[in-house]
Structure formats: structure tokens, C-alpha cells
Amino acid sequence: MFCKVTVLVALAACAESVVSAGVEFHLYAYGNGIKSGLQLFYGDGQAYVGASAPTFVTEAVNITLSQAEEGTEFVATPDTTVDWDSEPTMYIDTTEGAINAVGFVKGNETLGDGETTTGLGLYGGWAFHKVENSTIEMKFIATPTNESDIYLIKWNAGGTKASDEVAVSLRTQAPVSLDS
């Protein structure tokens, strides 16, 4: 009887860990070689993590994300007043061998070949990408900028990275502190 109860509790916990459409969240980067829990933000149409915005971007905005109705897209809502015609949707480049910045596309902007807004999701608070009938992938990397503790987030479809890049997990779990 104890085993049945334990299994039921574990299944219930897993079911509750999947974030459904409409729930708002922030993403934080965790990985060896960077400060834990740097928050993801919008910077000139690209995804950055850091304790502050880089000085070289024109528009840096803290964002709250939510899953679109279909549950396979991350839509960004600015945490401050900005002059956006529409809320941007996060995209990645899944082209074989590509290592390109995670970005945001607005309204009627078009994506390039291999770039997609679909297949993004959360499981247990971990951001992932999954193509239908494929495996879950978490191929995010942080590329240092020329400013301390600010990184450009990329999708590593190529499976390799430069020596100064750090494999990271993007999670909804906020850090206890940024002292790691």
C-alpha cells in the first residue's frame, strides 16, 4: 500500500509541474561558470541574461513570459511601459549546426529559415524545445558580452560551443541570491 501511495504522490507532483497556457513566469539562467539565477530580459529583439542591461542595446526591457493558448510558444509582456505594436514571441534557430541568438519576433515580422516560435514549453519549471514526435531538448548557451555578468542567450543546435560559452538551463525558479 505504501508503494501505491508514493507512486500516486509522485505522479501528482509531476502533473502539477507542467506549466499551462496563460500562467506568467520569468526565466533565470543556471550553469557552471556564470552567476546563478541571472534573469532573462529583452534587448533589441534578443534574449540576454544579467544583473543589469548592457549599455550597448538601445531597448532593454524586463519581461514576463507566458505560454500562448496553444501552449507551445513563449510570449513576452514588458514589465514597464514600452511602445510595442504587439507582444513579441520568443524564437530559436533549429537549423542543423546553427548556434544563433534566441530572439523575439513581433507581429508581422518574418522568421528566417530554420527559426521557429513553436515547440517551446516548460516542464517542472525547466524551459525546453520539442518538435512533435521528437525528444525534449535544452540546448541553451550563454555567450559573454563585453560587460561583466551579462550574456547573450543562444540556442545550440550545432551541439558545440566556444570555450568562453556556458551551457545553461533556463528555469522559472528565481535564485535565493546572486552570489554563486
pLDDT tens by residue, 105-136: 998 899 999 999 999 999 999 999 998 888 89
Give pTM, 2 decimals. Answer: 0.85
Architecture of domain 19-171: Trefoil (2.80)
Matching residue, cell 524586463: 62
Amino acid at 169: S
> What confidence score (pLDDT) does residue 57 get?
96
Mean pLDDT, to the nearest integer, of 79-87?
Answer: 92
> What confidence score (pLDDT) does residue 22 get?
64
Q: Whole-angstrom Cα distance, residue 135 to residue 148?
A: 34
The closest of 128, 138, 96 to 114, measured between CA atoms, is 96
> What confidence score (pLDDT) does residue 115 get?
96
- The answer, yes or no, to whether residue 67 has pLDDT greater than 50, is yes
The whole-chain average pLDDT of the chain stands at: 86
Q: Where are the chain's structural domains?
A: 19-171
Helices (H), 86-166: none
